[in-house]
Chain A
Amino acid sequence: MAETPAPLAAVQVEALVVMKIIKHCSQTFPTTATGAIVGMDVDGTLEITNTFPFPVVEVPAESHFENAAPNPAAAAPRAKANAAYSAEMIRMLREVNTDANSVGWYTSANMGNFVNMNVIENQFYYQSQLNERTVALVHDVSRSAQGSLSLRAFRLSSKFMTAFKENKFTSEDLQKSNLRHPDIFEELPVKLHNSHLITSFIHQLQTPTSSASTELPSSLAALESSPFTKTSTLTPNLDNLSLNIDPFLEKNCDLLLDSIETHNTEVNNYQYYQRVLGREQQKINAWKAKRAQENATRATLNQPLLPEDEWQRLFKLPAEPSRLESMLNTRQVDQYARQVDSFVSSSTGKMFAVKGNLLPNETSN
């Protein structure tokens, strides 16, 4: 690697990794699945060449108290047991000539709901403890079910890393650092890459359907049982022509509602903080005034003055709640809204097409 490596600009994912991630994520869906990815960093492009899932550790009951995630898999990438597991696995993989550098981890998501503390903490762990040049791959199972693969790569921005390290998320800090929700993640473009063998394999898979001359079937039954109607070869994927996007929109609305609720809680917390702060301030002011008055009387009586800064010991100002949660929430809502936009753009197109087809006369008017 060069002295000053170029910043990561893109992520290149091998077909094998794509398939393995899809397999793991869809197997455990709708629970979150996580795993490690290994690969190599070549001139700013992170080549991801292999992956393995993390074992799901049964979390002992007492960990409920330490604010653990309800789903152990979501926290798996930074769990201690898994560090040993992945070190072991990588050592094994090295023996069979696989790239043996840990370059990050992957997680599954459901309709883009991946902006949460778990992901942040995992990625923070990777970027701060292991290697700065690591990424989080997010595979969205439900969006992929609509026809187009959804695989995205994220990193935490350096700005956010510093803030998170020092836990600076009060309003004042945020003003200073000018950190806002779009700055949490850096998204890297994802490219899929096939090896020569896989290219050749895929070409072979597709040949039966594109071969030109075949004998015509003798009967309908023969046609239906012929190899052409079987789905074992790579049939074109027409899932994304489906008009039925209501479930997706509904799910999105649910998620949005959840976010709004989180937002309300956060706002309430903050208001509570401000009320308490105001009350305390009032008390302090009253105390100060009283002390000043007392001192004034003492001064006239020629008694030694009482110290004026004792209030700092007597009153404790409440700590400002962290703004991190609401920032993440905003980022999440942003994500949902973009997702909805993308649904809507494709579905309106489809609907106009259907309408045009079913009512040819209407459109010509």
Chain B
Amino acid sequence: MAEDSFLHLARPLGPVSVGTAPTTAPLNVVIQPQAIFSVLDHSLRRNADQERVIGTLLGTRSEDGSEVEVRSAFAVGHSEAEDQVEVDMEYHKQMLALHLKANPREVLVGWYATASELNTFSALIQNFYSGQGDGTWPHPAVHLTVSTEAGKDLETRAYISAPVGVTAERAADSAAFIPVPYELRYGEADKSGLESIANAKDAEDRSTSVTSDIESLERAIEEVLSMVDRVSRYVESVIDEETPASTAMGQFLLNALALAPKVEPADIERDFNNHIQDVLVVSYLANTVRTQMELSTRLATAQLTLGGGGEGPATEGQRNQRGKGQGRPRQDRAEEARA
């Protein structure tokens, strides 16, 4: 993560805007993990001779335009030579159209590059993305750099730009990049996915299998136990006067301890028994339903092999099955009502 510090008070004015009231409120960038993952994936798939690759960022903008959420990204081909840069604009446009078809709510918010360097080409591309027409104008285009240099930490930075130009001719390929704060944010739904992915982080082959409920429960309990261990080690060392005590820490821990509910043992006993019975009954019923259904299918498809009796036993079986099937829902509902 980039550790630079900068003060972010106001954003620069965009290119000359007639009739629109420009806003200078600070801009905050939120990045969702899948966007970063897309960028990283693209970086892996670059051509051998390419230093960096670029792509388009898509996402949503809050109503007042003060927060940009980068939700996804797609790669755009480009080539850089000594003195010129070529970006496959046709490709960008087509891909954008395709993407918007599936995600109508997302809009173009900016672009990324996989090197933290900012140069003339960056300015050129930035001016394209923030321009009128195809660009993000009147909103600023967000430029995200993710350095993927081997052997170094990944550095992510976000910028917006202000027009700057020594002369009118040079205005197209110059821009003042201004760093903006960003944060990585993921929703509740992403959490379980990220956790599973993180499980593979220490594995030699960088892969892991999807865990079952009970396995992840085990892991969560181990996690909690290790946290409790860490805290109690800390507390012990404070008691032994090995580490300096901290009032704030003590207060925090006390607050946490106070969260433990005070309930009468009888209440617990009763609730516990009720609950566990409900749970077990549901499980039992589910399995009964399963067995019944299986039996019914088997009887239905095995009728002729039963010999002389022919269809008799099968239909009877079905009738029984139906009787039970109808009986069960009521029981089930009653069970639910109790739960």
Contact = CB atoms under 8 A, between A and B. Distances in A.
A343 B283 CA distance: 9
Interface stretch (B6-14, B16-24, B97-105): B97-105
Contacts of A12: 207
Given A92-B94, A174-B301, A270 B77 contact: no
Contacts of A199: 200-201, 206
Given A16-B38, A23-B71, A333 B212 contact: no
Contact of B252 (A220, A347, A350): A220
A240 B287 contact: no
B167 interface: no
Interface stretch (A114-122, A188-196, A286-294): A188-196
B220 A20 contact: no
A135 to B, nearest CB: 14
Contacts of B5: none
B244 to A, nearest CB: 7
Say which size band chain A's interface belongs to.
Answer: 35 or more
Q: Which of A96, A240, A256, A336 has the most CB of B within 10 A?
A: A96
A101 interface: no
B248 A202 contact: no
A22 B298 CA distance: 38
A16 B41 contact: yes
Given A222-B248, A359-B265, A18 B217 contact: no
A323 B322 contact: no
A149 B297 contact: no
Given A148-B216, A333-B289, A346-B214, A195 B41 contact: yes
B339 interface: yes
Nearest to B42: A96
Given A26-B189, A146-B213, A232-B183, A20 B290 contact: no
A130 interface: no
Interface string B189-207: 1111111111111000111
B272 A55 contact: no
Interface string B86-119: 0010010011001101110000000000000000
B263 to A, nearest CB: 7
Contacts of A148: 192, 196, 210-213, 215-217
Interface string B69-89: 001101111000000000010
Interface string B45-87: 1110000010100000000000000011011110000000000
* Interface residues of A, dominant DSSP: helix
Contacts of B248: 216-220, 222-223
Contacts of B305: 175
Given A232-B185, A249-B282, A347-B279, A175 B326 contact: no
A191 to B, nearest CB: 5
B213 A343 contact: yes
Nearest to B211: A148
B240 interface: no
A285 interface: no
Contacts of B38: 16, 20
Contacts of B207: 12, 191-194
Contacts of B99: 52
Contacts of A250: 336, 339
Q: Give the top 5 A-B pairs by smallest Cβ distance, nearest first.
A: A26-B189, A148-B216, A19-B34, A96-B75, A337-B290
B242 interface: no
B321 A267 contact: yes
A94 to B, nearest CB: 11
Contacts of A257: 329, 332-333
A305 interface: no
A31 interface: no
A319 to B, nearest CB: 16
Contact of A19 (B37, B76, B184, B311): B37
Task: Give the contact-size bracket for chain B.
Answer: 35 or more
A68 to B, nearest CB: 20
A171 B210 contact: no
A223 B252 contact: yes
A192 B42 CA distance: 18
A97 B75 CA distance: 10
A71 interface: no
A75 interface: no
A141 B188 CA distance: 11
A23 B45 contact: no
Interface string A210-246: 0000001111101110000000101011111100011
A34 to B, nearest CB: 10
Contacts of A348: 276, 279-280
Contacts of A22: 34, 189-190, 192-193
B267 to A, nearest CB: 10
Contacts of A296: none
27 contacts: A15-B197, A19-B34, A22-B190, A92-B94, A96-B75, A141-B189, A145-B188, A147-B217, A148-B196, A190-B209, A194-B200, A194-B201, A195-B44, A205-B184, A216-B249, A222-B248, A223-B252, A224-B252, A234-B198, A237-B220, A238-B220, A260-B289, A263-B296, A326-B300, A344-B282, A348-B280, A358-B268
B304 interface: yes
Contact of B210 (A152, A259, A263): A152
B1 interface: yes
A197 B153 CA distance: 10
A169 to B, nearest CB: 10
B287 A341 contact: yes
A197 B206 CA distance: 11
Contacts of A253: 282, 285, 332, 335-336
A98 interface: yes
A362 B266 CA distance: 11
Given A192-B197, A236-B220, A334-B294, 16 more contacts: A23-B72, A50-B41, A85-B98, A89-B98, A148-B192, A152-B210, A197-B148, A202-B201, A224-B252, A236-B223, A237-B195, A264-B325, A330-B297, A350-B217, A358-B261, A359-B269
A235 B98 CA distance: 35
Interface in B301-330: 301-305, 311, 315, 318-319, 321-322, 325-326, 328-329
B47 A246 contact: no
